[in-house]
Amino acid sequence: MDFTDIELSGKTRREHDLLGEMDIPVEYYFGVQTMRAVENFHISRVRLNFFPQLIRALADVKQGAAAANRDLGLLDPAIADAITRACEELREGRLNEQFVVDMVQGGAGTSTNMNANEVIANRALELLGHEKGEYAYCHPNNHVNLSQSTNDAYPTAVRIALARSIDGAVASLRELIAAFHAKGEEFAHIIKMGRTQLQDAVPMTLGQEFEAYAATLTEEIDRLQTNLRLFYEINMGATAIGTGINADPDYAELCTKHLREITGLPLSKATNMIEATSDTGAFIMNSSALKRLAVKLSKICNDLRLLSSGPRCGLNEINLPPRQPGSSIMPGKVNPVIPEVVNQVAFRVIGNDLTITLASEAGQLELNVMEPIIVHSLFENIEMLVNAMNTLREKCVVGITANPEVCRRMVYNSIGLVTALNPYLGYETSTMLAKEALQTGKGIYDLVLEHRLMSEEELHKVLLPENMVHPRKKITE
């Protein structure tokens, strides 16, 4: 089969499940149930090992469960120790290639859970001195999955992995914000025209524009961090539907305690385990926060593309770093490819948010079997946003330069300067000046002097662009 790059010797071991027997290559740490999933789900072609954080979180969950079962006297300490050692190896990144199930799968995540159970069991067997597949000594279901169901182990691992992944996204976001702040300081002295509805408005500085980008993104840090806290409530011990069948009464609290210690996260047992097993509200909220960030990033990239348009026939107020030739037919053309790719990432995130919404709504009774597509969409959103933010910062924002003379010339030629005359000449007179400027092509400054509406000294003070980028009191002298 072509689903793994693991080199095979041709030797196999025989395994069985509900549907029958199957020969498994001896090099595979996964077993028959994982193989069934590989045969069934050729969907996204994105496998579990594409998201190492998920594998790490699965190892956390299985180690926490083993520790709780050991403490309760349900699991032989030697087996629990072997499971723990196998999980520690997974957290170090070993055996990632053995996680081969497609992220998009039927079965509410059972294939993912069994992929983890089988890999951990077979590695534990080796640590115990046995061969892979000798499940009498450490069984994927009887030992690694003891006191668990896919319906509590899978969502718990997902929540742990997503919480960590969003923390990583926040780190990338902070670096992007810092890059915009740096440009805000660099461009603080450059006067330009602000625009509303793509029309001239009033003067501002290019620095103010870039500081605004930093500010709007800074707001998203709180949104992301607030929503990811929803992932800290877990349903370990709920087993199948939340009633805790096949689990010791003390297991849920004990397993949660071990998971807090293993992960370092402030995890807590859900107050209503039946609700927690079927509810996907935390996924919806976090998806919404990611979408909001994506929308803001896309808007900023729209602005960067407009501000750098031209260079001769556009705004040309800033220059984006040239990254590649822009056309196969037009020599000399350079396109804003970095903002363009961020725009496209935003579109995908918005689409995935709709997928998550529909999948969450599709839950029925005591379980939402659509969680795999929710999980895949969320991990994809985080992965793409992190890559997009890093790319935007490294290959675009840090290299942006300004065209100060172009910016200043536009300010002096703009009819928008008339707004500053409102307090002195009134709205009607200012409107008349704007209309005449449009019809004649003359500047506002010249028209005011021509009509002797203000002295040259007073006009100079009022229309000095640097005096129009902050609130100020009316000039009376």
- By annotation, the residues acting in catalysis are 327
Tokens of 174: 């902070």
Residues in the chain: 477
Count of other CB atoms within 10 angstroms of residue 127? 18
- Going by the DSSP 8-state scheme, the letter that residue 334 receives in this structure is B
Tokens of 230: 């929803």
Tokens of 128: 């115990």
The Cα 189–Cα 184 span in angstroms is: 9
H or E, element range at 196: strand 191-196
- Three-state SS string over 196-249 comes to ECCEEEEEEEHHHHHHHHHHHHHHHHHHHHHHHHHHHEECCCCCCCCCCCCCCC
Q: Phi and psi dihedrals of 112, rounded to 5?
A: -65, -45
* Widest CA span in the chain: 101
The Cα 182–Cα 176 span in angstroms is: 10
The amino acid that residue 253 corresponds to is: E
Q: Give which of 384, 400, 390, 394 is closest to 303, Cα–Cα.
A: 400
The amino acid that residue 418 corresponds to is: V
Question: Which residues make Cβ contacts (< 8 Å) with residue 225, sequence separation at least 6?
Answer: 166, 170
Question: Which residues make Cβ contacts (< 8 Å) with residue 155, sequence separation at least 6?
Answer: 109, 234, 235, 277, 371
Q: Phi and psi dihedrals of 7, rounded to 5?
A: -75, 130
